[in-house]
């Protein structure tokens, strides 16, 4: 018996700074697909801010209108014959491409999604809404666990990604310093210290992880590394990065780019979280009903006290 056509309510950025909620018809469910009724989705203050403002650099899949979001959690409500997860499972979904002519970049901010089952990551029910943080946790893990990576002894930025890198570094035995200029974001440090960069005179850091997204910061960071030290670019940068060559030359500086997480990173952080070694507590600070998405996005991007904003889709399912 054929399944009925499904619909969804999705956040759509029709153009920069113009967001609407739209009803859309979803595609048929294939043998390896699942339908996920979304409970919560997160708003990224990095890449989604760039999409919102229109400053996202062009790359494949970029364009408007689009459905943003890559941090979604929900329940599997239907599954194809060969699906790798089952009806009733709570899963993390890093976005979807199920919106027809509307681009899915990244496609997770919707009440219901149809996705290949291999992109639905089952996790412990008890983790609940904190599951929206799995993408950032996997990104943090990817940066720290790369082949030959040094553990960070300085992290620039104490937002969600910076805190996750710091927490993973502490698990690995490091005691990093974190730079943060916003006094309201200096708390919640366990096993590491947070200071204003103006108060830091050290010039012997072995490995600096930058998650600030500030393209103009590279010269400053190079000035704080030791000879042969490394700067890891773990944020996302909308502007070209430049640096003065002579200081970098004298220090034989290394610059590494940490890209997106991979399957092995997601498996690793899921294990860390489910076994209690990595805490996700204190990172979700704001929650808004999905029907108020427009105000939620503005708060996420403009309120310095907002670490992670999540949309609650449960009333829309």
Structural domain spans, the chain: 7-135+262-316, 147-257
C-alpha angle 132-87-265 in degrees, rounded to nearest 5: 40
**E strands along 117-253, which residues?**
121-122, 154-156, 177-179, 193-195, 205-210, 225-233
pTM: 0.95
For 160, residues 6+ apart whose C-beta sits below 8 A from its C-beta are 133, 136, 283, 307, 308
Q: What is the pLDDT of residue 2?
A: 59
The CATH number of 7-135+262-316 is: 3.90.180.10
Looking at residue 76, what DSSP letter applies? Answer: E
Check residue 226 and give its pLDDT.
98
3-state secondary structure 81-133: CCCCCCCCCEEEECCCCCCCCCEECCCCCECEEEEEHHHCEECCHHHHHHHHH
Contact 266, 138 (CB under 8 A): yes
Residues with Cβ within 8 Å of residue 131, at least 6 apart in sequence: 40, 73, 90, 92, 123
pLDDT over 90 percentage in the chain = 86
Residue 317 confidence (pLDDT): 66
* 1 pLDDT above the threshold of 70: no
Is the C-alpha dihedral spanning 106, 112, 116, 118 positive or negative?
Answer: positive
Q: Is the pLDDT of residue 59 over 80?
A: no
Residue 108 vs residues 135, 227, 237, 265: alpha-carbon distances, Å: 12, 43, 22, 20
* Beta-strand pair 72-79/90-93: antiparallel
Tell me which residue of 111, 44, 106 sits closest to 74, measured CA to CA.
111
Residue 54 has pLDDT above 70, yes or no: yes
What is the arithmetic mean of pLDDT over 213-235? 97
pLDDT tens figures, 166-178 = 999 999 999 999 9
Contacts of 99 (CB under 8 A, 6+ apart): 10, 24, 67, 107, 110
- Residue 238 is predicted with a pLDDT of 86
The helix (H) or strand (E) run that includes residue 167 is: helix 160-171
Confidence of residue 57 (pLDDT cuts 50, 70, 90): confident
Q: Give 87's pLDDT tier (boundaries 50, 70, 90).
A: very high
121-133: average pLDDT: 97
| Chain mean pLDDT for the chain | 95
| CB neighbour list of residue 69: distance below 8 Å, 6 or more residues apart | 11, 41, 42, 43, 44, 48, 95, 106, 107, 108, 109, 110
In 3D space, the residue among 286, 315, 288, 274 whose CA is nearest the CA of residue 134 turns out to be 274
- 200 in Cβ contact with 181 (< 8 Å): no
pLDDT category of residue 257 using cuts at 50, 70 and 90: very high
Phi first, then psi: give them for residue 295, nearest 5 degrees: -70, -35
Question: By C-alpha distance, which of 208, 252, 200, 216 is closest to 234?
Answer: 208
Residue position matching structure tokens 């919106």: 99
Average pLDDT score over residue span 215-232: 97
pLDDT score recorded for residue 259: 86
Compute the average pLDDT of residues 44-67.
85
Please say if the pLDDT value at position 26 is more than 90. yes
For residue 105, the model assigns a pLDDT of 74
CATH top-level class for 147-257? alpha beta
Q: Assign 56 a pLDDT band (cuts: 50, 70, 90).
A: confident
In sequence order, what are the residues at sequence separation of 6 or more whose Cβ sits closer than 8 angstroms to the Cβ of residue 52?
Answer: 13, 16, 17, 19, 68, 297, 301
pLDDT over 80 at 99, yes or no: yes
Q: What is the mean pLDDT of residues 199-213?
A: 97
pLDDT for residue 41 is more than 60: yes
| 148 has a pLDDT exceeding 60 | yes
**Structure-token pair, residue 157:** 């930025």
19 pairs with which residues across the strands? 13
Residue 18: per-residue pLDDT: 93
pLDDT band of 128, cuts 50, 70, 90: very high
């Amino acid at each position: 018996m054929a399944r009925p056509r499904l619909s969804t309510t999705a956040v759509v950025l029709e153009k920069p700074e113009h967001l609407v909620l739209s009803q859309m018809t979803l595609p048929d469910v294939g043998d390896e697909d699942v339908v996920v009724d979304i409970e919560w989705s997160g708003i990224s203050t990095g890449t989604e801010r760039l999409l919102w403002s229109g400053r996202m650099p062009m790359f494949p899949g970029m364009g408007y209108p689009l459905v943003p979001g890559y941090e979604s959690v929900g329940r599997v409500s239907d599954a194809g014959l060969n699906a790798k997860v089952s009806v009733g499972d709570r899963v993390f979904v890093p976005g979807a491409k199920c919106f027809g002519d509307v681009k899915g970049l990244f496609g997770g901010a919707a009440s219901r999604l149809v996705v290949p089952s291999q992109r639905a990551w089952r996790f412990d029910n008890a983790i609940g809404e904190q599951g929206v943080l799995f993408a950032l946790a996997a990104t943090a893990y990817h940066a720290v666990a790369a082949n030959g990576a040094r553990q960070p002894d300085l992290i620039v930025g104490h937002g969600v990604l910076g805190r996750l890198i710091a927490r993973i570094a502490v698990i690995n035995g490091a005691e990093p310093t974190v730079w943060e200029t916003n006094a309201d974001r200096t708390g919640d440090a366990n096993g590491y210290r947070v200071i204003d960069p103006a108060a830091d005179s050290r010039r012997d850091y072995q490995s600096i992880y930058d998650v600030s997204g500030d393209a103009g910061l590279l010269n400053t960071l190079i000035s704080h590394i030791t000879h042969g030290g490394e700067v890891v670019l773990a944020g996302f940068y909308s502007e070209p990065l430049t640096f003065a060559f002579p200081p970098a030359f004298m220090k034989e500086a290394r610059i590494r780019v940490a890209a997106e997480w991979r399957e092995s990173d997601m498996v690793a952080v899921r294990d860390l979280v489910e076994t209690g070694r990595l805490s996700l507590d204190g990172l979700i600070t704001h929650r808004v009903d999905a029907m108020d998405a427009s105000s939620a996005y503005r708060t996420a991007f403009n309120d310095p006290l907002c670490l992670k904003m999540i949309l609650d889709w449960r009333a829309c399912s």
